[in-house]
Amino acid sequence: MTKVKLNLDSGNIQERELITAFKYKDVKYVIFDGESTGQMGLPIILVCKEVLGKVVGITDAEEWKDTKECLKKIISGESLEYINIASELKADEIYYRQLTLPIASFDQLKNAYKAPEVTEISADAPDNTPVFEQITPEDITPNDISSINPVSADSFNNQAVENQTPQVAEVEMPPADTEVPTNVIDVPSANPQVEVSEPVTNVEVPTNSPNNYEELKNEFLKAAEELFNNLYNKINHND
């Protein structure tokens, strides 16, 4: 049977033979061979539990009752959830409660224990872990640098523009035989131009001769003055 090394709080070390180990209500229970006999020469077992890698005693009365019921089930042929136990554990100074069993019950308890198989990874198994080669700056040669095709910013921008699909709005055209309305509405301009009509003044211009130069000059000045006055009066009237 399996031997378990127990490191007691006092520093003492014990080795106990494992009889059985099972889980009940999420608690791990461990049974060791007491390697001694009680009354009438019956073998003694050491009943304890494992808590966070340490073997401790069972102090609660209800838990102790449940533990003995589990042992009776194993002896009667029922199977519980058997578990594996580490080969080395810590332990309290008083880590067990003794229980005397008939020899047949002791043997049944020992023989019924079927520890779950632990799957071990063989050293010869192939390692499928990917290996990444580390490249240092010293490993890069000028030929490696020349083989790299740099991407310019212009080519990157052009490629980005080419990948953009323009959105084209679909315009539904009317059928060819559709009549188009011919009514045209004149929209007044935002800055309408005001046309100012000027009165036409009949000015008689006499023939140009050297003898009446002064007379022509006076008539011209008079006509110009009259034209200016009419224009001025017209502008003031419109205001």
pLDDT tens digits, residue range 15-24? Answer: 999 999 999 9
Specify if 57 maps to a domain: yes
> Which structural domain, as residue segments, surrounds residue 222?
206-239
Domain count, the chain: 2
Considering 59, 86, 112, which residue would you say is the last residue of a domain? 112
Which pLDDT band holds residue 65 (cuts at 50, 70, 90)? Answer: very high
Predicted pLDDT at 100: 95
Specify if 102 maps to a domain: yes
Query: What is the mean pLDDT of the segment spanning 196-205?
Result: 48
Query: What is the mean pLDDT of the segment spanning 14-42?
Result: 94
Specify if 125 maps to a domain: no
The chain-wide mean pLDDT, for the chain, equals 76
Which pLDDT band holds residue 235 (cuts at 50, 70, 90)? Answer: confident
Predicted pLDDT at 32: 97
Considering 112, 137, 157, which residue would you say is the last residue of a domain? 112
How far lies 127's CA from each of 130, 131, 202, in Å? 9, 10, 119
Predicted pLDDT at 6: 97
Considering 89, 112, 135, which residue would you say is the last residue of a domain? 112
Predicted pLDDT at 207: 52
Would you say residue 77 has pLDDT above 90? Answer: yes
Predicted pLDDT at 19: 96
Would you say residue 120 has pLDDT above 80? Answer: no
Contact between residue 100 and residue 44 where contact means Cβ atoms under 8 Å apart: yes
The four Cα atoms 221, 224, 228, 230 give a dihedral, to 10 degrees, of 110
pLDDT, tens only, 157-178 = 555 545 555 554 454 555 555 5
Predicted pLDDT at 7: 96
In the chain, the DSSP E strands lie at 3-8, 13-24, 27-37, 43-51, 54-56, 81-82, 88-91, 97-100
pLDDT, tens only, 80-95 = 999 999 999 999 999 9
Contact between residue 9 and residue 93 where contact means Cβ atoms under 8 Å apart: yes
Predicted pLDDT at 15: 96
Question: Is the pTM above the cut of 0.75?
Answer: no
Specify if 162 maps to a domain: no
Burial of 164 from C-beta contacts in 10 A (0-12 / 13-18 / 19+): exposed
Burial 75-96 (b: 16+ CB within 10 A, else e): beeeebeebebeeebbbbeebb
